[in-house]
Amino acid sequence: MPLIHVEMFEGRTPEIKREFVEAITRETCRVLKCEPGAVDIIMRDVKKSDWASGGVIWSEKK
């Protein structure tokens, strides 16, 4: 049973998230040869102020 964790910036609509999980589930099943019911996806919304890359907090990037 694949369990996929996704962390991304907050602000995406429920429709976009739905489209995303449908696509990830479809491709996971294609590659791993499993049924959709076996795929679990946990999405976590993260504030830009709680994420940094290259030593810079995303909310402070210009």
Catalytic residues: 2
Tokens of 37: 């019911």
Contact 10, 46 (CB under 8 A): yes
DSSP code of 58?
A: G
Please tell me the distance from the alpha carbon of residue 46 to that of residue 37, in angstroms, as a whole number: 26
